[in-house]
């Protein structure tokens, strides 16, 4: 009997989550399983993976073949590294030391990627805000120009000549007939 480590689908329509299980290769996807090894929730941000490391290593050491997806999940968790080092004949202490250094490097790399992503998103947000401000200023300028064109500008009283200021321009009353 060949055993596979694979995903068993759970959840509702369009919202799946999976159990990582050890099952007979001949049984259907959601059929009979030998043992549940962990869970995988792909729709959460970030994806949530919980794996019982001891059980997974037990099945991998006994020859269980992981499917492509499960292999990728186990790789991200570092279990494939542990299995590789075990097959190379390393001691448990060396395996654990290598795993811890790999884990710290992975966390550091993740932090660097997050900070780089934050910088890019902050720059993009800043550019978008600047463009929005420029568009708003253009709109305000257009509105101000329309308002000035619609409202007649009254000339100040000093600029227009009046009858009081020019005595010769004052008309004399016409004689009464």
Position 20 scores a pLDDT of 94
Task: Using alpha carbons, list the distances in angstroms from residue 11 to 8, 33, 46, 100, 123.
Answer: 10, 17, 18, 34, 39
pTM for the whole structure = 0.61
- The fold adopted by the segment(s) 3-89 is S16 Ribosomal Protein; Chain: A; (3.30.1320)
Q: Domain coordinates of the chain in residue numbers? A: 3-89
Q: Where is pLDDT greater, at 149 or 98?
A: 98
Task: Using alpha carbons, list the distances in angstroms from residue 67 to 5, 74, 81, 116, 126.
Answer: 6, 10, 16, 33, 44
Position 128 scores a pLDDT of 87
High-pLDDT (> 70) share of the chain, %: 86
- The predicted-structure confidence for 72-89, as pLDDT tens digits, reads as follows 999 999 999 999 999 999
- The predicted-structure confidence for 2-29, as pLDDT tens digits, reads as follows 899 999 999 999 999 999 999 998 988 8
The whole-chain average pLDDT of the chain stands at 85
């Amino acid at each position: 009997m060949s055993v596979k480590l694979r995903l068993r689908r759970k959840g509702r329509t369009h919202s799946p989550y999976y159990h990582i299980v050890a099952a007979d290769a001949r049984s259907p996807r959601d059929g009979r399983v030998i043992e549940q090894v962990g869970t995988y929730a792909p729709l959460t941000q970030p994806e949530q993976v919980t794996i019982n490391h001891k059980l997974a290593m037990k099945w991998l050491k006994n020859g269980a073949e992981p499917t492509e997806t499960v292999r990728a999940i186990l790789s991200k968790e570092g279990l494939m590294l542990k299995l590789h080092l075990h097959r190379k004949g390393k001691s448990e202490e060396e395996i654990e030391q290598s795993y811890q250094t790999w884990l710290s490097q992975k966390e550091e790399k993740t932090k660097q990627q997050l900070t780089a992503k934050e910088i890019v998103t902050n720059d993009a947000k800043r550019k978008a805000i600047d463009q929005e401000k420029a568009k708003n200023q253009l709109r305000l300028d257009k509105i101000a120009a329309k308002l000035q064109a619609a409202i007649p500008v009254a000339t100040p009283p000093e600029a227009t000549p009046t009858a009081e200021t020019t005595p010769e321009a004052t008309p004399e009353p016409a004689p009464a007939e």
